[in-house]
A and B are shown apart, each in its own frame.
Chain A
Amino acid sequence: MKLSKWMIALTLTLVLALGVAACGEDTSDAGTSGTGGETTALSGEIAGAGASSQEAAMNAWIAAFQDANPDVTLSYDPVGSGGGREQFIAGGTSFGGTDSTMDEDELAAVAERCAPGDYIEIPVYISPIAVAYNVDGVDELNLSPSTLARIFDAKITKWDDPAIAKENPDADLPDTNIVVVHRSDESGTTENFVDYLSQAAPNDWPHEVDGNWPTKGGEAANGTSGVIGAIKAGSGTIGYADLSQVGDLRTVAVKVGDEYVAPSAEAAGKIFEASKRIPGQGEYVFAYDLDRTSATAGLYPISLVSYEMACTAYDGAEEAALVKAFYGYVTSEEGQQAAASTAGSAPIPDSLRQEIAPAVEAIQTR
């Protein structure tokens, strides 16, 4: 008798649980199908590869796009920018992402791949890079580009250095060593951070701009999570990482013009107002020469901009339609919001979205 009572209870629980689960699925389906942008009868399969920086955003875009178009399968292999460009040029992928714009050789090669169409390169992902630190008792830190460069170049080695103290008169700076944490792997985050240092503090940052950290010394860690982990684990540490991954670490406010600007999505988006598009690369190549020295009010100058690659002409009607619809969603306000909420990126400004819209419109069958 006892047993059967148990059985009934168990069955009831199971039924209830399943019922609740089913309801949950229903509602979530109804919720997401609305956010996927166009709901045309698209079908087929396309593959992309490229920058791992935009992987989280790309996953969000792909998930939403596939929800809206159930017959579509998209894949994105985060092999890295270099690999992404290589595969796209070779024709192995239909679309791709890259942190750095193509150089002349690559542009020539990609022109061949896209012929008779044009190559498309559009900025769709902008992510602020925060300078995070872990110093006991210091809750706010203001640094000028010059001080920042000297800290990362190991010219300033103590937290109570006069240069830091001068910019932070109210902070209680300890007499401890500064431990600089940088990436040990080649990374677009490093490249953009170093680019900022060399643009904004050319006298104090003599090193070449490259995805590999240029100096010997300091603490090196693998990947964004490694850097964050090392900053948290050590004491007196300072390093750079994607703002979305910084968590509860304190971040440095950087001097722009006469004021100090803390990293935020909004402040990062202003970089497009200050920067110029590189001319002469092609009608649909929206490569930007990021101006990190601008004194525009409220602009946060350290951020990573990632681009999507495509051609205006594809062999297959299906491939062309898919890339067009997918990029249409990615560059839509909805798509940008989706990336912002999952990946912590900054939505690209509306003006830029309108500017790049013709590029996506131009995609067609060869």
Chain B
Amino acid sequence: MSGTNGYRRLGDRAFAGLATGAGVLILIVLAGVAAFLISEAAPAFVAPASDLPDGESLARYVWPLVFGTVLSATIAILIAVPMAIAVALFTSHLAPRPIALSVSYLTDLLAAIPSIIYGIWGIAVLGPASVPATQWLADHLGFIPLFEGPASTTGRTMLVAGMVLALMILPIISAVAREVFSQTPKGLQESALALGATRWEMIRMVVLPFGRSAVVAGSMLGLGRALGETMAVTIILSVSGVITFDLISSENPSTIAANIALQFPESSGLDLNVLIATGLVLFAITLAVNIAARTVIGRREAAGGR
């Protein structure tokens, strides 16, 4: 008896040790990355302004990149979240089982496509296909700053980049949402139906509130990927360092990650430090977004808003 106990205790201890170790390792890696970023970025912060890439100040160099990063990620989230919720609901509540299974399998498959393939697809297929539509937008809705134009003739625009990003983060968000939607207590769903709710009303009143924090958490995962996505944006976006809300012209702000990928190969010395400093900014943005999301979820749960 004691032997089994001892064995169990050993197993417990080993497991606890491994789990704690893994947790601590993550912290160490994160701290290591932060330390690397800070130490490598430091020269860029103290360097005289005249040595910097645009000769003015680091903030002026980083700002358009931050703007582009946030803009592309925002477009991606705006498109991806509603779509992901719809896909998740379709597979968890609406579709017949075999169809639901294959749809969820195919959605997950989207996450397995390498980002460079998304990028090539973006310039070869989606970009050219978007040209007539963006031309129309520029002609008819040009008074809206978003569609001011002139429309790009190659389709390598912020709008297309955002759409490709949306497609890339869709599987992450929908997978998280689907799992939680399908965990909605059957009793609650059935009582809603028994009270005379239609299926849509049941979903609106029971499933969506139940899965809200999961949708937020999934969206944050997706947002993290959209903010940091490099290859697809590098290939698709025609960048020129401007700050504009115009989504359909060929002059777009670059994103931090894409800018690093584009400039790194030919950079040396201080330019490299500046690039890493922009990486540090991206790190900070991602961290801030995640903390904000955690707080939102935490507050909801504490308020019993589940």
Contacts and interface: CB of A to CB of B under 8 A. Distances in A.
Interface of A: 52, 78-83, 85-86, 177, 179, 184-188, 211-213, 216-222, 226, 229-230, 233-237
A81 B261 CA distance: 15
B235 A235 contact: no
B102 interface: no
Contact of B251 (A185, A188, A218, A226): A218
Interface string B250-269: 11001000000111111111
B242 A219 contact: no
B148 to A, nearest CB: 14
Contacts of B53: 212
B250 A216 contact: no
13 contacts: A78-B265, A80-B264, A81-B266, A83-B268, A184-B237, A184-B254, A184-B262, A230-B154, A230-B156, A234-B152, A234-B154, A235-B153, A237-B153
A49 to B, nearest CB: 11
A229 B120 CA distance: 11
Nearest to B254: A184
A83 to B, nearest CB: 6
A230 B236 CA distance: 10
B265 A221 contact: no
Contact of B239 (A179, A220, A235, A237): A220
Most buried by B among A52, A78, A222: A222
B250 A179 contact: yes
Contacts of B123: 226, 229, 233
B267 A80 contact: yes
A185 B266 contact: yes
A221 B238 contact: yes
A3 B156 CA distance: 57
Given A80-B265, A82-B271, 6 more contacts: A184-B237, A185-B263, A186-B265, A219-B250, A221-B238, A222-B235
Given A186-B262, A186-B263, A186-B266, A226 B235 contact: yes
B234 interface: yes
A158 to B, nearest CB: 13
A209 to B, nearest CB: 14
Contacts, number: 90
Contacts of A187: 266
B43 interface: no
Interface in B187-209: none
Nearest to A232: B154
A187 B265 CA distance: 9
Interface of B is mostly: loop
A86 B240 contact: no
Given A177-B150, A217-B251, A234-B154, A83 B265 contact: yes
A336 B216 CA distance: 60
Interface string B51-74: 001000000000000000000000
Interface in B243-287: 250-251, 254, 261-269, 271
B218 interface: no
B142 interface: no
A211 B241 CA distance: 15
B127 interface: yes
A211 B235 CA distance: 19
Contacts of A218: 240, 250-251
A186 B259 CA distance: 10
Contacts of B239: 184, 220
Contacts of B150: 177
A24 B234 CA distance: 41
B153 A236 contact: yes
B128 interface: yes
B266 A211 contact: yes
Contacts of A220: 237-240, 250
A97 to B, nearest CB: 13
Nearest to A229: B123
Interface string B128-165: 10000000000000000000001011111000000000
Contact of A219 (B156, B234, B235, B271): B156
Contacts of B254: 184
A221 B156 contact: yes
Nearest to A208: B55
A222 B241 contact: no
Of all A-B residue pairs in the complex, the 5 with the closest CB atoms, nearest first, are A82-B268, A80-B265, A185-B262, A186-B266, A234-B153
A85 B264 CA distance: 14
A218 to B, nearest CB: 7
Given A216-B242, A233-B127, A179 B266 contact: no
A186 B267 contact: yes
Contacts of B128: 233
B238 A230 contact: yes
B120 to A, nearest CB: 10
A234 to B, nearest CB: 4
A81 B264 CA distance: 11
A198 B66 CA distance: 32
B268 A184 contact: no
A60 B289 CA distance: 48
A179 B268 CA distance: 31
B155 to A, nearest CB: 8
Nearest to B271: A82
A71 B146 CA distance: 61
Nearest to B128: A233
B52 to A, nearest CB: 13
Contacts of A236: 153
Most buried by A among B123, B237, B251, B266: B266
A222 B53 CA distance: 19
